Structure 1
């Protein structure tokens, strides 16, 4: 509804106006009236109308003076001149001062009034549309300028100051503080939302931040990319570091709380030190952006300051040879539980030692390398062990926390194990035999029996015993022992683990029984085999 004020010293004329048309039916509402120009100014200030219909001849302040006043103080308000005389000078003067049109009282009717109101309405709508486009264009230019500023595309101080003025950005070029905001679980959100929904989500995040910054003052923001935003705080002549710290902390807390309350998301915030030269902004942005990598250890929903370096304890940390061999053994054995256990050991070390992000990347590359190496040795296409078409190392970098990285690598290992298990299955085997083989490989370190396997598969144990031997050419127990002895040999060849521990890790509960089975299958006792492994290469064995 467009709001209208009627100004006329004739009470009867004002009354006639009120009843001439059904105002609300045509999208208008009468919000006030006055009997002269001076009183009209007070009414206009109180009601902020869109259109003022004013008589020309009035005491104290006539219509020409009122229209002139509105053109200076309220240029957005549209004026319609009204008079009982066909006086060209009045027409010319009122139109020159911005009146939309000129109405003659003695010729006025509902049709004429509506025609003029529609002209005024269309003009208002056009101007609103143009203004909206100008605001949007300016906002786009502002966002682009801030982005170029922080990524280092602008260095010239004079050019920066000039652009700040041209775009009417409310910042000084000195006494600044920078904050990078990174939305948590971004990859999850990108999978959950369509591209259009993601765009709306980012807009909602921006709206929340802009509302708070506008309320708090001293800050402007811009979207950078990939769920990342930057806030530039500016403090002008304020020199109190206590005030600045409190202001920034309060603003960040409000944004953080609003994200949780209204958008059901969390974010990490990285804060710079106070700096005094806007040309330093790109350098500081790079520093605090790198600080966000500490999130991988600290977790989500964190605030990082320049002085905190959680992940800087150890910059060089390699995967232990023993851990590497144990992981390889567990993968080849198809033992998912052992793989999970050994991964937990590795990642617990990372968390305890608080290693740097760079060192974490190095360890993860080694862990990925294990999977790739086993896949190639087993003639498995490496691409099959990854869940999408992304490059593994790039996919790894998308993980936000150390637990995310562990889960992702665990998923790669699990897919590899499934491919290894399926590779052992002959197409000629019965379904029950294939399932029994998978069961053995997954559980050989536990107490495993033919009866348990049959129950797990859902068949009769006698039937499983018969079909298994027909398919594999060996009995269930012999096949199980072969798997266990193979793993024991692997541990002897590649680790320094004591023999008694190897017995347990291979799934044997009794050392004497292990000794007997091992000698029958290899022709040597475990002690002899281990001694040979120490004195010769694996090929000679």
Structure 2
């Protein structure tokens, strides 16, 4: 609704204008009436109307003087001159002084009144749109300047102060501080939502942040990269580190709580050290940005502050050959429990030592390499062990915390183990037999039976026993023992594991029975086989 003030000393004329149209139906509302220019000025100050319709000839302060006052004091306010037969000189002066149009009282009707009002309102709308565009353009330029500064893309920094003043940025050289904000799981957000939805999320986050920054004082935000933005705080001549620390901390905590509450997302915040020149922002941004790497160990929804944690960070850490060997043995033994245990030991060590982000990436590369090597040796399609068919090294970067990385790596090895039995299963076997063989390979290290396998597959145990022997040429128990012996041979050939430990690892719960079965399958005792392996080593 556009607010309209009516000024005329003639009661009849005012009443005529008031009753001529349905104001609200046409988008207008009468906010007041005045009988002369002086009274009108007081109402203008109180009501701030959008449009003033004023008579020209009035006592105390006439229409020309009122229009001059409005033009000088409220340049965005529109005025319409209302004149009689002999007011033409007044009309000319009113138009010179900024009135958008004039109405002759003796010709005034609803059509002409609405035309003038709509013309005035359209001018107001055009001005508003233009101002919004100018403000938006200035905001874009403000954000771009901050972004270019933090990224170090401005080499000639001599004109920065002038540029900041020109763009009316609420920051200046003096006590400065910054915070780097990274939305948690932003890559996953982009995968799950449309581009429009992501833009809407970013816009909402910007609105929330800027509203809080306006409350807290001189500060400006700018988006830097995917899901990452910077907040620059300006404290002028304030030198108290405690004041700056508390002010930045309070602001960041408000933003953190608001985006969690209203947008249902979390973010990590890295608070940089204080500095004094805006031109040095790139150096302090780099420090704070690197500190966000602590998120890998610390997890999501965290605030990282300077100075750095006293806990030392291990810059170089790689996969131990013993760890690699144990993982390979566990995978080839189809023992996911052992694989998970080995990976847990590795990642617990990483967390305990505070290993650097780059070293964590290198360890993941090594673990992926081990999985790929086993897959190649088993003639498997490497791509099959990665769930979304993405390049594994790119997939790794999507995971932001060590817990996520560990879960992803475990998933890779679990799929690898699930695929390994395929190399040992004859495709000509019936479906129940193929499933039973897969079940044996995946569970041979546990105490399993024909009945358990049949229940797992969903068939009768007698039927499975018969069809299994027809396909494989041996019974279920004999086939299971053969697999266990093969795995025992594998461990004896490639490890220094004690024989008693091997017996339990491959699923035998009786040492004597293992010796009996082993000799029956291999032709020599386990001890003789172990000695043979040592001689051939």
- Tell me the TM-score range normalised by the shorter chain: over 0.9
Matching of residue 68 in structure 1 with residue 68 in structure 2: yes
Contact 1:312 1:356 in 2 (8 A): no
> 1:244: Cα distance to partner?
1.2
Alignment correspondent of 1:9: 9
Contact 1:297 1:310 in 2 (8 A): no
Alignment correspondent of 1:299: 299
Alignment correspondent of 2:121: 121
Alignment correspondent of 2:481: 481
Give a deviation string over 1:224-278, Cα, whole Å, max 9, x none.
Answer: 2221111011111222222211111110111011112111111110010000122
Give a deviation string over 1:93-124, Cα, whole Å, max 9, x none.
Answer: 21222211011222212111111111111111
Tell me the SS of whatever aligns to 1:436.
Answer: helix
Contact 1:267 1:301 in 2 (8 A): yes
Contact 2:174 2:237 in 1 (8 A): no
Alignment correspondent of 2:90: 90
Deviates more, 1:142-151 or 1:157-166: 157-166
Alignment correspondent of 2:414: 414
Alignment correspondent of 2:182: 182
Distance 1:323 1:87 in 2: 100
For residues 248-267 of structure 1, what are the structure 2 equivalents within 5 Å? Answer: 248-267=248-267
Alignment correspondent of 1:313: 313
Alignment correspondent of 1:370: 370
Note the aligned Cα RMSD (angstroms). 1.9
For residues 27-106 of structure 1, what are the structure 2 equivalents within 5 Å? Answer: 27-106=27-106
Deviates more, 1:227-236 or 1:491-500: 491-500
Alignment correspondent of 1:520: 520
Alignment correspondent of 2:143: 143
Distance 1:467 1:310 in 2: 65
Q: Name structure 2 gaps, 5 residues minimum.
A: none
Distance 1:65 1:523 in 2: 120
Give a deviation string over 1:121-154, Cα, whole Å, max 9, x none.
Answer: 1111222222222222222222221111111111
Alignment correspondent of 1:25: 25
TM-score with structure 1 length normalisation?
Answer: 0.95
Contact 1:157 1:278 in 2 (8 A): no
Alignment correspondent of 1:108: 108
Deviates more, 1:127-136 or 1:331-340: 331-340
> 1:309: Cα distance to partner?
4.1
Contact 2:185 2:398 in 1 (8 A): no
Deviates more, 1:184-193 or 1:293-302: 184-193
Alignment correspondent of 1:390: 390
> 1:511: Cα distance to partner?
1.4
> 1:478: Cα distance to partner?
2.3
- 1:372/1:311 CA distance change after superposition, 3 Å: farther
Distance 2:132 2:166 in 1: 18
Contact 1:325 1:494 in 2 (8 A): no
Deviates more, 1:403-412 or 1:188-197: 188-197
Alignment correspondent of 1:500: 500
Contact 1:329 1:487 in 2 (8 A): no
Tell me the SS of whatever aligns to 2:158.
Answer: helix
Alignment length (residue pairs): 537
Distance 1:516 1:279 in 2: 80
- 1:240/1:519 CA distance change after superposition, 3 Å: same
Give a deviation string over 1:390-446, Cα, whole Å, max 9, x none.
Answer: 321121122011110011111211222222223433221111111111111121111
Contact 2:85 2:104 in 1 (8 A): yes
- 1:32/1:481 CA distance change after superposition, 3 Å: same
Tell me the SS of whatever aligns to 1:157.
Answer: coil
Distance 1:151 1:2 in 2: 45
> 1:335: Cα distance to partner?
2.8
Matching of residue 455 in structure 1 with residue 448 in structure 2: no
Q: Name structure 1 gaps, 5 residues minimum.
A: none
> 1:325: Cα distance to partner?
2.2
Give a deviation string over 1:45-86, Cα, whole Å, max 9, x none.
Answer: 222211111122223322222222222221111111112245
Distance 1:298 1:109 in 2: 74
Deviates more, 1:173-182 or 1:302-311: 302-311
Distance 2:263 2:74 in 1: 39
Distance 1:204 1:346 in 2: 40
Contact 2:488 2:502 in 1 (8 A): yes
- 1:310/1:528 CA distance change after superposition, 3 Å: farther
> 1:312: Cα distance to partner?
4.4
Alignment correspondent of 2:131: 131
Matching of residue 272 in structure 1 with residue 277 in structure 2: no
- 1:159/1:482 CA distance change after superposition, 3 Å: farther
Contact 1:56 1:63 in 2 (8 A): yes
Alignment correspondent of 2:491: 491
